[in-house]
Structure 1
Amino acid sequence: MHVRLESICNKDRRYVTVMAEAHQAVGFRFTVTPDGVDLQLSREVLNHIYLSRLTSWRKRAIRFKNGILTGVYPASPSSWLIVMMAIMSTMYARIDPSMGMIDTIKRTLPVSDYLTIQTHTVLSATLFATGLWYSLILMLKYIFKALLSYHAWIFESHGKTSFSTKLWRHLVTMFSGRRPLLYSFQASLPSLPVPSVDDTIRRYLESVRPLLDDNVYNTMEALANDFKKDQSPNLQKYLILKSWWATNYVSDWWEEYIYLRGRNPIMVNSNFYAMDLLYVTPTHRQAARAGNVVHAMLQYRRKLERGELAPLRALGVVPMCSQQMERMFNTTRIPGMETDFVQHLSDRKHLVVYHKGRFFKVWLYYGGRHLLPSELETQFQRILDDNTQPQPGELKLAALTAGNRFPWAQARLKYFNQGCNKASLDAIETSAFFLTLDDEAHGYDPDKPRSLDHYAKSLLHGKCYDRWFDKSFTLIAYTNGKLGVNAEHSWADAPIVGHMWEYVLATDCFHLGYTDEGHCKGDGNKGLAAPAKLQWDIPLECQEVIKDSYTFAKEIADDVDFYGNLFDEFGKGLIKKSRTSPDAFIQLALQLAQFRDKGEFCLTYEASMTRMFREGRTETVRSCTSESTAFVRAMEDKSTTNSLRLELFRKAADKHQNMYRLSMTGSGIDRHLFCLYIVSKYLNIDSPFLKKVLSEPWRLSTSQTPQQQLNMVDLNQFPRYVSAGGGFGPVADDGYGVSYIFVGENLITFHISSKFSSPETDSIRFGKNIQRAMLDICELLSPKEKNEKQV
């Protein structure tokens, strides 16, 4: 034992320091002597234990209190006293508001010598008042749910609000209360309705009509009619039954079959990314920036776990589901042989940091409190200064999470189920989140033409082994102080991560701040134990699996063709002046760009949210319509007049807006057909129509990333404090993935991805086509305003 310790010390002299700090952290020591047991206690450590326990109990008390407030919402616990006092007052006035129920309760209570008649009466009245109060709460929740089921407001034109919508808005505002908590509205949110089969098939056939010639369309129409007549009634019954039983008839199947059962790599194919501030870098010190941001994340997590964040509301009125936010922290996707599962744990007190092939465990608490930003900076700087080499197999270990899921599941069971490998893997999978202290510098630099492209690719896949792709998200800190996030997709959608990211960036810049030298503010405890280096014993067979996963992931990463375009000719401000929906404008520009790029139209996917329903996630808007194709053909026909083009544009934009609204209100096409297909597989029913629908490729996949969900930064006062948003990888081998973000009023950012291996695609070419389409449509809509903008 002594020889082994001496050997380790000779290899790494830092071990002595670590052991000394660990020795200081011991809470008590005892020694057996001839005179008895000599017990020595460390007052400092015992004080930390006391504070930690006190913090734990305080957190439980706050969660319990907020749970009660959420459970009785839109009423309040104090309303119970009002009901109680009212009942007692009527009894003293010899009026029985219960119509005999209090007497009935009194007769059913057990007789006891310790309870007087008066006590029996008071207890009976209390039970009745409590039951009445709870019944009133249920009634209020039912009324509120009925109000939230009203969706006519979303189909009304801007500035033309009906009297019924005005009345509805006042009622919703009244029922919403003054200071709702994050989950206050959850029980009142309506369930996602199941559309009728007739409506879904009619809309589906309408969506594919512009993409199919007459013969193919007639064949598809025949398949659809046969399905509607023979198979759909039975499948629809089971789906309606599920909608009565489950909170949401789509979400659980969507998570399982679209994400968790997939055996292909989640890197590039599923995970997405979010970028740092576009123009501002608060500090160029890597450790300091990471310290501030990690502290801000811990603040956000505390508010999230206590349910103290304000719920997000459409138009500031209509509440949206907050269920996805529950799994933001302490969450990992665990690989399985046939299907993965999402592991979510309660409050985790550490994170794992990756730097130059080594994994370190960093504690986030000290004495019952979060580590201060300056303390976190110290810990991260220690890791940056650590010059030890990775252990055999450690450097590219995370490539297992980047490759196919089946080999990773096999390796996890075979090589990581015991010893130090199990302990170290548990440390990663149970951490609050994952942090990579990158050894490269990235970010947007206007002097470097492709800087945004390299930045996006680094966030999307990195080196294929320096992000833990299974974690709910990986925070990436670059050497120049820039940041980014890579997020796993199964547990939540991009707006959820965007909500957290906006809070973190605003808190970092406007609340925490930095010293003049770029360090975190404040003086923390300098005697914290150094981060613990995770230990691995990875056999050669496992190293071969890691190598294979890395090789496969590297091929995927190298095939990603990315182009980032900062379009600053105009923004949503100018688009709204032309009385056009900014989203419809972009989608029609994408259709025009697609036609110019490939000479044909394709099935187009645009993600919309269904979070106005409980546990809602997304729905598909099929943006390629007969109206949009007519407009595009008119734009390409030189003989068509601008007045006709403008008329066709208005029709196409109105059509798109209507489809988007239908998707948001539960009348979409694709989630319904997807669930019908799942039911058919359970019942062993072969449906040629559903097979055909589910196998159609989305060659243009698009998504708008929301900005300013929290309004923590006044962009009029601080116009440079904007993010470039985020993006995702290509969905089809021969198609494009496009994420677009309205940044303020005068900037639109496009994140375009495709594959180098496809001879049909070129991200830069497509980006140029988008830019030209935007300018052409803007000139069509408002040539006068466009000329003034250029001047």
Structure 2
Amino acid sequence: MFSQSTFYVNYYFGFQDDTRTPTQTARAAQLVSLALEFRQLIITRTLTPDMARNAPFCMNMYKYLFNYSRIAGSPSDTAVGFPYETNNHVCVVRNGKFYIFETLHLPSKPSSVLSPREIMIQLERIKKMADDDHSTVPEIGILSTTQRDQVARDRATLFEAHASNKAHMAKIESSMFVLCLDSTSPSTSEEFSRACWHGDGASRWFDKCFQLIVFANGRAGMNGEHSKMDATPTSRLCRFLIDEAQARNLPDFRGLDAEDLYECASALDKPEPLRFMTSASLDTAITNARAYFKTTVEAHEMVPTEFKGYGKGLIKSFKMSPDAYVQMALQLAYYRKH
């Protein structure tokens, strides 16, 4: 049995709050739009290389940042990449329900990318679809939170439940990334950290290369899957998202009357709901996964601490790696405590 990835492999970042207090869909649309820009820099090989002491790093790892998924299997998981050229959709999850929308007006024309306002319209549509849908749907997101061999078995159970489930899962796995539109509004440091770390388990897909998470109060973060790369590409992506967002206007509907808004929306394909079908075996798998997730969450204590004594600049002045410094500090703390 090999361990789960949600708590022991995946990592998360919490973004700085946007002082303009944007709505959920405004901030989400801006982050998605900027992520598409960053992806295009990778595709066109125009992203400036990372540097260390005036020497460029190999940037090969960045190709795993988008359109990749970890896929559970036996005897081991695999990491699968999907062609950038034919997979320009984003997967959105809200209330445990999954949707996709295309980011190009013309699939064969990369320059026909949706504007931030158009992305915002699509996200508003998805929010309404999810909030108005009171039907019971299988919470397939929770299936990505258990032990990896169990995830593999549950994946087979999901596919056996209905023939369409495999095609729906392929849409999630081939998407550029997952966007989580949470209905919660975390305020304290612990609430925010836990929401970015694991959330409710159902409105996530932890095997995706990364998930952007935007909350009802406009706060945002990211959860990353670790099998194909370290945090260097995702930390640079997040820095790009935060810095560029502050330098640009938020998308909104001001200046558009009802007719203009309708015309703008009518030019966009409606988001596609991924309607997973269930079975008795799948219901049991989801129930068991939910119980396992709850037990694991309750077994972890979290007390976020913000240290302002010094930062990486001072550590580097000692000619030490900040990462190695923190790792050794953790080991020293454990040694002194135990």
TM-score (normalised: structure 2) = 0.86
DSSP-derived class of the 2:99 partner: strand
Question: How many Å separate the matches in 2 of 1:329 and 1:358?
Answer: 22
**Pairwise mapping of residues 471-510 of structure 1 onto structure 2 (< 5 A)?**
471-510=208-247
| Other-structure match for 1:630 | none
* Matching residue within 250, 269, 288 for 1:548: 288
Tell me if structure 2 keeps the 8 A contact 1:354–1:437. yes
| Larger-Rg structure | 1
**Pairwise mapping of residues 164-313 of structure 1 onto structure 2 (< 5 A)?**
263-277=2-16, 280-313=18-51
Tell me if structure 1 keeps the 8 A contact 2:157–2:281. no
DSSP-derived class of the 1:268 partner: coil
Question: How many Å separate the matches in 1 of 2:194 and 2:38?
Answer: 27
Tell me if structure 2 keeps the 8 A contact 1:292–1:520. no
Is 1:564 aligned with 2:312?
Answer: no
Tell me if structure 2 keeps the 8 A contact 1:513–1:521. no
Question: How many Å separate the matches in 2 of 1:521 and 1:552?
Answer: 49
Tell me if structure 1 keeps the 8 A contact 2:29–2:120. yes
| Other-structure match for 1:685 | none
TM-score (normalised: structure 1) = 0.39
Structure that is richer in helix per residue:
1
DSSP-derived class of the 1:273 partner: strand
Q: 1:563-585 CA deviation, whole Å, 9 max, x = no partner?
A: 221122444566678x6758477
Is 1:351 aligned with 2:90?
Answer: yes
Q: Aligned-residue CA RMSD in angstroms?
A: 2.6
Question: How many Å separate the matches in 1 of 2:76 and 2:255?
Answer: 46
Tell me if structure 2 keeps the 8 A contact 1:464–1:557. no
Tell me if structure 2 keeps the 8 A contact 1:333–1:471. yes
Q: 1:108-159 CA deviation, whole Å, 9 max, x = no partner?
A: xxxxxxxxxxxxxxxxxxxxxxxxxxxxxxxxxxxxxxxxxxxxxxxxxxxx
How big is the shift at 1:530? 2.3
| Other-structure match for 2:183 | 439
DSSP-derived class of the 1:564 partner: coil
Question: How many Å separate the matches in 2 of 1:271 and 1:549?
Answer: 18
Tell me if structure 1 keeps the 8 A contact 2:96–2:141. no
Is 1:404 aligned with 2:147?
Answer: yes
How big is the shift at 1:281? 3.8
Relative to structure 1, the CA distance from residue 301 to residue 575 in structure 2 (aligned partners, 3 Å threshold; closer, same or farther) is closer
How big is the shift at 1:481? 0.9
DSSP-derived class of the 1:485 partner: strand
How big is the shift at 1:430? 1.3
DSSP-derived class of the 1:549 partner: helix
Question: How many Å separate the matches in 1 of 2:290 and 2:331?
Answer: 37
DSSP-derived class of the 1:561 partner: coil
How big is the shift at 1:391? 4.7
How big is the shift at 1:393? 4.2
Question: How many Å separate the matches in 2 of 1:308 and 1:429?
Answer: 26
* Matching residue within 69, 75, 91 for 1:332: 69
Question: How many Å separate the matches in 2 of 1:520 and 1:306?
Answer: 34
Identity of aligned residues (%): 27
Amino acid at match of 2:10: N
Tell me if structure 2 keeps the 8 A contact 1:285–1:519. no
**Pairwise mapping of residues 19-168 of structure 1 onto structure 2 (< 5 A)?**
none
How big is the shift at 1:520? 9.1
Question: How many Å separate the matches in 1 of 2:151 and 2:314?
Answer: 50
DSSP-derived class of the 1:359 partner: strand
How big is the shift at 1:477? 0.6
Relative to structure 1, the CA distance from residue 408 to residue 586 in structure 2 (aligned partners, 3 Å threshold; closer, same or farther) is closer
Q: 1:714-746 CA deviation, whole Å, 9 max, x = no partner?
A: xxxxxxxxxxxxxxxxxxxxxxxxxxxxxxxxx
Tell me if structure 2 keeps the 8 A contact 1:472–1:488. yes
Question: How many Å separate the matches in 2 of 1:561 and 1:329?
Answer: 32
**Pairwise mapping of residues 701-780 of structure 1 onto structure 2 (< 5 A)?**
none
| Other-structure match for 1:536 | 276
Across the two proteins, how many residue pairs are aligned to each other? 323
DSSP-derived class of the 1:563 partner: coil
Amino acid at match of 1:531: P
Q: 1:576-625 CA deviation, whole Å, 9 max, x = no partner?
A: 78x67584775675565445433xxxxxxxxxxxxxxxxxxxxxxxxxxx
Q: 1:202-229 CA deviation, whole Å, 9 max, x = no partner?
A: xxxxxxxxxxxxxxxxxxxxxxxxxxxx
Instruction: Specify which structure has the bigger relative contact order, considering alpha-carbon pairs within 8 angstroms and separated by 6 or more residues.
Output: 2
Question: How many Å separate the matches in 1 of 2:325 and 2:73?
Answer: 43
